[in-house]
Amino acid sequence: MGMGWTLKSLIVMVLGGLGNFIGTFIAGILLGATESTTAFFIGGNYRQVVGLILFLLIMVFRPQGLFGKKEK
């Protein structure tokens, strides 16, 4: 019960960079806008798929998140 919301919040936190509040806020807006745009143009069934693809692409090219700092 609530596992979908928990998973989505984990994705948003990781996308923004762990420990970065501004990054988490921007990542949440980015994920929400992407999913809404997908639902409008393609259909609601693919909304979460495109969100997952966005998450995977960002993790491949920037594993520390959008606003995370590289560890030394």
Per-residue pLDDT tens for 23-64? Answer: 899 999 999 999 999 999 998 888 889 889 988 998 899 888
Q: Distance (Å, rounded) from C-alpha 47 to C-alpha 69?
A: 29
CB 58, CB 66: distance < 8 Å: yes
Q: Say whether pLDDT at 9 is over 80.
A: yes
What pLDDT is stored for residue 1 in this prediction?
Answer: 74
Q: Specify the amino acid at residue 67.
A: F
| 2 assigned to some structural domain | no
18 lies in some domain = yes
The pLDDT of residue 8 is: 87
38 lies in which domain range? 12-61
Residue 66 belongs to a domain: no
Burial (CB < 10 A; 0-12, 13-18, 19+), residue 34, is middle
Q: Please give the pLDDT value at position 46.
A: 87
Count of structural domains within the chain:
1
Q: Are 51 and 68 in contact (CB under 8 A)?
A: no
In a domain, 69, yes or no: no
